[in-house]
Structure 1
C-alpha cells in the first residue's frame, strides 16, 4: 500500500507530476502547478480532479470560450477532441487520469 499527502506535494517545475500508477493503459498522476498549461486538444479522454487549490478551466465549445472554476472535489471530464487549458488560481494540486502518453 502507498499513501500520498497531495497537499504537501510540490514538483520541481510547473505541471511536474508524481506517477502514482498505471491501470489498464491509463496513468494516474498527481500534478502540481503555479503556471497555466497550454491550449490543447485531447487525443483521449481525461479525468481532472482538483485536490488542493483551485483551477480555472478555460474551454472552447461552439466557437465560444468559457471558464469553469474547479475547487477541491470538483471533477472535470474532457472527451477526445475537447480544446482546453487549465489556469491554477494561484497554485493547485490535481489528480489526472488519462491514457498513457496522451496529451
Structure 2
C-alpha cells in the first residue's frame, strides 16, 4: 500500500519519474517536468493525465501538427502510431500509463 501526493513530487531533472507500478508490463509513472519532451511515437498506447499544471500537447495527424491545451484533470490518449510531444507551461506533474520500456 502506498499513497502518492502528486503535488509534492519533484525530480532532479525534467521528466524525472516516480515508478508507481508495473502491472503485467504496463507501467504507471508520475513525471515532473518544466521542459518539453521530444517528438516521439510510443511502442504501444499511452494514457497521459495532467495532475498539476498546464501542458500543450502537440501531435501530428497526416503530417499536420495540432496543439491541445491540457489542464488539470485532462487526459490525452495516444493510440499506436500517434506522434506527439508535451510542452508544459512552467512546472507540471503528469501521470503516464504505457507499455514497459516505451519511449
Is the TM-score greater than 0.5? Answer: yes
Which residue in 1 is equivalent to 2:72?
72
Deviations 1:12-56 (A, max 9, x none): 100000000111210000000000000111211000000000100
Root-mean-square deviation (CA, aligned residues, Å) is 0.7
Three-state SS of the structure 2 residue aligned to 1:7 is helix
The TM-score, its normalising length taken from structure 2, stands at 0.97
* Structure 1: segments with no counterpart, 5+ residues: none
Which has the larger strand fraction?
1
* Structure 2: segments with no counterpart, 5+ residues: none
1: distance between equivalents of 2:56 and 2:34?
Answer: 12
Which residue in 1 is equivalent to 2:37?
37
TM-aligned CA deviation for residue 63 of structure 1: 2.2
1: distance between equivalents of 2:63 and 2:98?
Answer: 26
Three-state SS of the structure 1 residue aligned to 2:91 is strand
2: distance between equivalents of 1:50 and 1:85?
Answer: 14
Which residue in 1 is equivalent to 2:84?
84
TM-aligned CA deviation for residue 102 of structure 1: 0.7
User: Runs ≥4 in structure 1, deviation > 4 angstroms?
Assistant: none
